């Protein structure tokens, strides 16, 4: 399936927000079962339901033609998909031809064996999800991961010249005592650290009310000990960044619960089955797989227009005892965060 040029019309939703960033989940599978992301016993999609690389390339090309400048590959864990570097290499060829950046979010477990392939394909920046540096706690959070593999993968990535940002989900009573040590470790190695509030997606293995830690509270706590200077740093995503004078590093905050970032939303999420989710916290979606398979690129282009017409203004996540059920039944791994 060739990627033909679509009409050069930017993707602008009904609230005037221009969509320039697409997160593409290449698989719902993962070799971890992190307690805030997945149930311990997950049922994954049959392979026949997952988009082929050819289909992902076609959809990505259509988005680039309509003004997308950044693509992030996600999962599940993207590096567990067979021959993933083939896809990365093909998408990487679009860098400088409409696409400014191709990045990836990973748990790091498979990073060492793929690092050189990622770099050679044009990837220059990675997000690595890491919520603790304690080996036992890491096993508890991931339910099955080995922290040694992740740290080894980070070493390999840095040796290859890839910039790394650590993503840490901040959880009260779980890892909140490690935030300052994690910041010192990350900044000491030239890596950024971004803290993320837990989100009520899917039934998982943690009490979200007890573990919810508002990052405003955490920011105030850190500001009493460190000199935080707000940065006008933009990476295409929702994080707000500060420079930490004492460590010389950058600290990010992603606050979907305590302070949403919907007014500046510039992104959509494509699932591994070709569903385009227009908001992480809502169910509004458009089936791009069926559009592409049934009507080719013209139908795909029309489906993208429809997506802009129905993209919601924002999400309405709530975590409290009056609403103990998750806001949405789908797990984080379905839409790739």
Q: Cite the annotated binding site for [4Fe-4S] cluster by residue number.
A: 30, 34, 37, 262, 265, 279
Identify the CA nearest to 125 among candidates 175, 75, 190, 62. 190
- Which residues are annotated as part of the binding site? 23, 30, 34, 36-37, 72, 76, 105, 129, 165, 199, 262, 265, 267-269, 279
- Residue keyed to tokens 């060739």: 2
**3-state class of 243 per DSSP?**
strand
Burial of 11 (0-12, 13-18, 19+ CB in 10 A): buried
Binding site residues for GTP, as ranges? 23, 72, 105, 165, 267-269
> In whole angstroms, what separates CA 115 from the centre of its chain?
18
Query: Annotated binding site for S-adenosyl-L-methionine, which residues?
Result: 36, 76, 129, 199
Helix, coil or strand: residue 278:
coil
Is residue 133 a contact partner of residue 181, using CB atoms and an 8 Å limit? yes
Q: How far apart are CA 241 and CA 7, in angstroms?
A: 35
Distance CA 79, CA 39 (A): 20
Cα separation of the two ends of the chain: 28
């Amino acid at each position: 399936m060739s990627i033909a040029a679509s009409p050069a019309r930017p993707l602008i939703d009904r609230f005037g927000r221009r969509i320039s960033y697409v997160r593409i989940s290449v698989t719902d599978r993962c070799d971890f079962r992190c307690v805030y992301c997945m149930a311990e016993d997950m049922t994954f999609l049959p392979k026949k339901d997952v988009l082929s690389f050819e289909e992902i390339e076609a959809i990505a090309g259509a988005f680039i033609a309509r003004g997308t400048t950044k693509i992030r590959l996600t999962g599940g864990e993207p590096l567990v998909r067979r021959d993933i570097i083939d896809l990365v290499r093909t998408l990487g060829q679009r860098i400088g031809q409409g696409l400014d950046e191709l990045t990836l979010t990973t748990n790091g477990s498979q990073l060492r064996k793929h690092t050189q392939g990622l770099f050679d394909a044009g990837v220059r920046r990675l997000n690595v999800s890491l919520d603790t540096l304690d080996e036992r706690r890491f096993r508890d959070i991931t339910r099955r991961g080995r922290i040694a593999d992740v740290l080894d993968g980070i070493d390999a990535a840095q040796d290859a010249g890839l910039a790394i940002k650590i993503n840490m989900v901040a959880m009260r009573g779980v890892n909140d005592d490690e935030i300052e040590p994690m910041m010192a470790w990350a900044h000491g190695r030239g890596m950024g650290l971004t803290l993320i509030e837990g989100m009520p997606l899917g039934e998982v293995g943690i009490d979200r009310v007890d573990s919810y830690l508002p990052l405003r509270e955490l920011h105030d706590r850190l500001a009493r000990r460190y000199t935080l200077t707000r940065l006008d740093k933009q990476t295409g995503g929702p994080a707000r960044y500060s420079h930490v004078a004492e460590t010389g590093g950058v600290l990010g905050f992603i606050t979907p619960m305590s302070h949403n970032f919907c007014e500046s939303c510039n992104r959509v999420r494509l699932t591994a089955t070709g569903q385009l989710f227009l908001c992480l916290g809502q169910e509004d979606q458009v089936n791009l797989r069926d559009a592409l398979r049934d009507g080719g690129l013209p139908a795909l282009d029309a489906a993208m227009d429809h997506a802009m017409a129905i993209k919601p203004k924002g999400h309405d996540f709530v975590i409290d005892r009056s609403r103990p059920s998750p806001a949405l039944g789908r797990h984080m791994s379905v839409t790739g965060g």
